Amino acid sequence: MQTHQGAIPAVPVADTLKRGTSGVTNETVSRDGLFRAQTPQAFSFDLLLDLHRQAPVGATDDASILEAAGYTIALVAGHEDNIKLTYPQDLARLERILCPMMEPRTGTGYDVHVLVEGRKLILCGIEVPHELGLSGHSDADVGIHALCDAIYGALAEGDIGRHFPPSEDQWKDADSGRFLIHAAGLVAQRGGRITNVDVTLVCERPKITPHAPEMIARLAALMGIESGRVSVKATTSERLGFTGRMEGIAAQAIATVLVPI
């Protein structure tokens, strides 16, 4: 700009150029001396403003306005990653460039709590009507506990007991949603994102399916992801073992996260 009235970034045209009509080619156009103009472009403001006020017709960028008035524009080396956002697909391409290279990590979690009288039954962040509740230091949400361990496992961050020791009184009867917020926060701190989680509750009673949509919505909100990335389902143990005898509820979970390489 110290020697020219305008300057633009540009990249040489690398593709073979064709002129065509009605869906067929007519000729190959020489690409010698051809450049693709990019932005941002720089100009002498007073000159550019004056030329704009003359209402040029057919201009596609500011540089063409100066060119039409007889001024030369300096070409500065551009870059293929310098994308101008014109069409929706341009935004998708830009996002691919700006996002760091990510690798998938997968973790699993498993948890069990015994059923007792005098406790609310909290599963996957919601209260489920039942005559018994789960016993534990916190609210004993077996679904969230398994899910937290799955996320921690994907990050190689140990288990839920490492981050929220049951020996500490501050976690007595705590809402397990706080644990899940913490686990999701660790993913965000690393510049990653949770792509999918799947929780399976193992119990004879209560029936989980009627409550699954609310559970999914709650888990998604706690993790800050779309509900379409969350699965909650249930199975029984065919009346075998402690879950079959309705002595407790088990949960297993799997989580897939993307983290920067």
Domain ranges of the chain: 6-98, 102-260
- Residue 81 has a pLDDT of 84
3-state secondary structure the chain: CCCCCEEEEEEECCCCEEEEECCEEEEEECCCCCEEECCCCEECHHHHHHHHCCCCCCCCCHHHHHHHCCCCCEEEECCCCCCCCCCHHHHHHHHHHHCCCEEEEEEEEEEEEEEECCCCCEECCEECCCCCEECCCCCCCHHHHHHHHHHHHHCCCCCHHHHCCCCCHHHCCCCCHHHHHHHHHHHHHCCCEEEEEEEEEECCCCCCHHHHHHHHHHHHHHHCCCHHHEEEEEECCCCCHHHHCCCEEEEEEEEEEEEEC
- pLDDT exceeds 90 at position 99: no
- pLDDT exceeds 80 at position 57: no
CATH class of 102-260: alpha beta
- Residue 101 has a pLDDT of 83
Q: What pLDDT band is residue 122 in, cutting at 50, 70 and 90? A: very high
- Residue 85 has a pLDDT of 86
Between 195 and 166, residue with greater pLDDT: 195
Q: Which fold has domain 6-98?
A: Spore Coat Polysaccharide Biosynthesis Protein SpsA; Chain A (3.90.550)
- Residue 95 has a pLDDT of 81
Between 99 and 21, residue with greater pLDDT: 21
> In the predicted model, what is the mean pLDDT of residues 91-101?
81
> In the predicted model, what is the mean pLDDT of residues 164-175?
91
Q: What pLDDT band is residue 258 in, cutting at 50, 70 and 90? A: very high
Q: What pLDDT band is residue 97 in, cutting at 50, 70 and 90? A: confident
- pLDDT exceeds 90 at position 42: yes
* Per-residue model confidence as pLDDT tens digits over 134-155: 999 999 999 999 999 999 999 9
- pLDDT exceeds 90 at position 59: no
Q: Tell me, yes or no, if the pTM score tops 0.75.
A: no
- Residue 21 has a pLDDT of 93
- pLDDT exceeds 90 at position 197: yes
- pLDDT exceeds 80 at position 98: no
- pLDDT exceeds 90 at position 33: yes
- Residue 84 has a pLDDT of 84
* Per-residue model confidence as pLDDT tens digits over 110-119: 999 999 999 9
- The fraction of the chain above a pLDDT of 70, given in percent, is 99
Comparing 80-84, 107-111, 213-217, the range with the smallest average pLDDT is 80-84
- The overall average pLDDT reported for the chain is 94
